[in-house]
Structure 1
Amino acid sequence: MIRLTLAALALGAATSSDTRDLDAALKDRTPGAPQNCLRGFGSQTQNPQIIDDHTLLYPDGSRIWRNDLPAACPGLDSNAILVTEVRSGQLCQNDQIYTLQRGGIGIPGPRCRLGMFTPYSKVKRAR
């Protein structure tokens, strides 16, 4: 099964603004234990935010899943359409992604592997 993912919130190559965007997205959140797969891969995980060429964020209700690709993935930028190849009913480490450029001739970019998924949850403050 192949899913097309529009990277509407995509950003360009790694810059200090990417770091600021990542910091802002994960503000007031604490990381949990990394997992191999996202259970219930559905509409909420089909639109990841591209932070840079090796970091994706998958919103899931009040939680955000951070995926750090094991290697940089050329083509992850604001003009990309992200294509995710899901081999099982779950989005997992080592599933492959690639990009298509908007308005391009449809030549896919290089295939890249997903890394582990780290959940980031809001910190509950004591009253």
Structure 2
Amino acid sequence: MRMILIALAIAAIAAPGAARDRGQVPEATPTGKPENCVTTSRIRTTHVRNDSVIDFEMNGGQIYRNTLPYACPSLGFDQAFGYETHTGELCSIDTITVLRTGAGTRGPTCGLGEFQPVKLARK
């Protein structure tokens, strides 16, 4: 069975104050060793912080910060991405594709980094 999962970082767009916070990366303290993969069914929402950083909020509240090895042009601006997986896991060897908001087109495809469990600093 081919499973295709698309995750949109809609919460970052719809969240109050998202435009004000755009480009700001909250400080985070690592809480464990980086992981190569996360289970996609556990991802509650994502927060695109800029062209290089995405925070994955999991069911139960755990946050995994993914710092891309290279900046992904327009990711921080569009705040939305999609991915395709066949295993039920999103891994550091996988890629994301920027979804251009309003245009209905795809942007660049970029590689992911490791998933670092973190605790975000309070605002």
Compute the TM-score of the two structures, normalised by the length of structure 1: 0.72
Name the SS for the 2:24 alignment partner.
helix
Q: Does 1:114 align with 2:120?
A: no
Q: Is the 8 A contact 1:7 1:80 kept in 2?
A: yes
Distance in 2 (alpha carbons) for counterparts of 1:52 and 1:8: 14
Paired-residue identity, %: 29
Larger displacement relative to structure 2 (2-11 or 53-62) = 2-11
Residues 7 and 78, structure 1, Cα contact 8 Å, conserved in 2: no
Letter aligned with residue 36 of structure 1: N
> Partner residue of 1:31?
31
Residues 58 and 66 in structure 1, CA contact (< 8 A), matched pair in contact too: yes
Unpaired segments ≥5 residues, structure 1: 123-127
Unaligned runs of 5+ in 2: none
User: Which residue in the other structure is 1:4 paired with?
Assistant: 7
Q: Is the 8 A contact 2:30 2:119 kept in 1?
A: yes
- SS of 2:76's equivalent? coil
Task: Say whether 1:103 aligns with 2:102.
Answer: yes
- Alpha-carbon RMSD across the aligned residues, in angstroms, is 2.5
The structure with more radius of gyration: 1
Cα displacement (A) at 1:30: 3.8
Taking the aligned partners of 1:81 and 1:94, their CA distance within structure 2 comes to 19
Instruction: Give 4+ residue runs of structure 1 displaced > 6 Å after superposition.
Output: none
Q: How many residue pairs align between the two structures?
A: 110
Q: In structure 2, what residue type is equivalent to 1:8?
A: A
3-state SS of paired residue (1:109): strand
- SS at the partner of 1:9? helix
**Helix, strand or coil: the match of 1:77?**
helix
Structure 1 residues 30, 79: closer, same or farther in 2, change over 3 A?
closer
- Written as runs of structure 1 = structure 2, the 5 A alignment for 1:60-99 is 60=58, 61-99=60-98
Distance of 1:65 and 1:103 partners within structure 2: 28
Q: Which sits farther off after the overlay, 60-69 or 80-89?
A: 80-89
